[in-house]
Structure 1
Amino acid sequence: MAQQLQLPDGQTIAYLLDLRVRKTIGLKITAQGLVVHAPKRISSKQLQQVLLQKAGWIQQKLALRAANQVAPMQWVDGEPLLFMGQDITLSLIRHPTSKAVALEGSQLVVRSPHIGNQAWVARKVLHWYTQQALPDFSRRVQLVAAQMGEKVTSVALSNARSRWGSCNSRKQIRLNWRLIQAPPHIIQYVVCHEMAHLREMNHSGRFYAVLESLFAKHLSAEKEMKALSSILHRMA
């Protein structure tokens, strides 16, 4: 639920309050702003005190988020895009009958009589990205599965806003389609991260030992992934 934190200097900070069965208060800065996870039985006064103590940290993180915000996608001719870590450009060409989307050199070309309709262009381009993503991700998963001597029951695409992948006990792997914009080594890192969960369904030391055996430079890749996150999420 939406809430407001009143600061001593008169400023206010909007936040979303998520009450859960837990013992501590957790703060998270997301694309939507501040999210507060708190115990269900906490009083308003207790929550206010904790948030005021953390006000400096909250303001600093919100300022960093604002500074790093990326301009929203404009589905117009000349818009910069990313594909497999490469800079490409959206090229819209009016055509009376064609509705084709194709990567031609460094341009993603959309030919259609509807190029003036941004919503239509967005649907076509996003569909093209998902078509490229699934075969690429599936190939990577199967190669890592063979390396591990494991079997994966299915590979599917995810549209999550906060997770790049998931693995469940049924050995089903889901990967965020937006990853196809990232450089190949970042895609490989995320694949290996999820595949490591086939052995360890947690983030324990044992899990990271498995991950390191699959992707030795996982720490640097994780930092790079975080830095890329806002850019990859330009695509809704």
Structure 2
Amino acid sequence: MIEQLLQLPDGQTIPYQLDLRVRRTIGLKITAQGLVVHAPKRIAASQLQQVLLQKARWIQQKLALREVNQVSPMQWVDGEHLLFMGQDIVLTLQQHATSKAVVLQGNQLLVRSPQIDQPAFVARKVLQWFAQQALPDFKRRVELIAAQMGEKVTAVALSNARSRWGSCNSRKQIRLNWRLIQAPPHIIQYVICHEMAHLREMNHSAKFYAVQASLFPNYEQAEKELKSLSAILHRMA
């Protein structure tokens, strides 16, 4: 990603992240972090600028809506509400002289440590716990779908991407954003099915969507749900 600034005729500027990749068209996406522009690798700067200026009104409206809907930053304190597999859980901090355990008990994520008064430490322990839950869950789902498809996945790994929920490359390696473990199971399943469909079609053609629909018929609704959840899932940095 390349940090860029879009200069508007009225003097305002809009920061954005530019992702140059092999593609034919320019794609715009509003994420929790702001505007992301996906563009062809060989596009001229003047052409990109012209397209963005044409879309400036849409960009400003979407960014304004994002500000209205923006959720509050995560507070790593006792009583903070978290999401796990679509369920609300409460962060519970307990002072302990020696233990540094993180355990889910009912609807409480219990963190015991002598350092519970240090938000950075609590954040690190909680994020580690979420990642530890995510990988085996994702691997299990990938294996089941791969068996259903008669395909072989060579590796499943976690991603920390800010603007992508998953990826699949030509080596049949799947990467999935660990933040997805916060989402309801059907949303996790949707993202994994989307990436698994790329095992057959490394594009977003009609053939790709046919494969995706065979794996997850209601993918359009799930995609909308994921977009509405995005800001909440990205509270975890």
* Same topology, TM > 0.5: yes
Q: 1:2 deviation in Å?
A: 4.1
Q: 1:20 deviation in Å?
A: 5.8
Pairing 1:40–2:41 present: no
State the TM-score, normalizing by the size of structure 1: 0.89
Cα separation, 1, equivalents of 2:19 and 2:174? 29
Match in the other structure for 1:12: 12
Cα separation, 2, equivalents of 1:177 and 1:156? 9
Cα separation, 2, equivalents of 1:25 and 1:191? 25
Q: 1:19 deviation in Å?
A: 9.1
Number of equivalenced pairs: 231
User: Helix, strand or coil: the match of 1:42?
Assistant: helix
Q: Is the 8 A contact 2:31 2:230 kept in 1?
A: no
Q: Give the percent of matched residue pairs that are identical in Structure 1 and Structure 2.
A: 71
Match in the other structure for 1:180: 181
Change (3 A) 1:177 1:18: closer
Q: 1:171 deviation in Å?
A: 1.1
Match in the other structure for 2:165: 164
Cα separation, 2, equivalents of 1:23 and 1:100? 49
After superposition, residues 1-236 of structure 1 pair within 5 angstroms as 1-3=3-5, 5-8=7-10, 12-16=12-16, 18=18, 27-35=28-36, 39-42=43-46, 47=49, 51-236=52-237
User: Helix, strand or coil: the match of 1:77?
Assistant: coil
User: Helix, strand or coil: the match of 1:201?
Assistant: coil
Gaps of 5+ in 2: none
Whichever residue aligns with residue 120 of structure 1, its letter is: F
State the TM-score, normalizing by the size of structure 2: 0.88
Q: Is the 8 A contact 1:165 1:194 kept in 2?
A: yes
Deviations 1:165-202 (A, max 9, x none): 11111111111111100000111111111111111111
Structure with higher Rg: it is: 1
Whichever residue aligns with residue 170 of structure 1, its letter is: R
Whichever residue aligns with residue 217 of structure 2, its letter is: A
Q: 1:30 deviation in Å?
A: 3.4
Q: Is the 8 A contact 2:32 2:234 kept in 1?
A: no
Cα separation, 2, equivalents of 1:172 and 1:52? 37
Change (3 A) 1:144 1:34: closer
Q: 1:58 deviation in Å?
A: 2.3
Change (3 A) 1:42 1:20: farther
Gaps of 5+ in 1: none
Alpha-carbon RMSD: 2.3
Q: 1:56 deviation in Å?
A: 2.3
Cα separation, 2, equivalents of 1:233 and 1:134? 18
Q: Is the 8 A contact 1:28 1:36 kept in 2?
A: yes
Whichever residue aligns with residue 169 of structure 1, its letter is: S
Cα separation, 2, equivalents of 1:190 and 1:172? 15
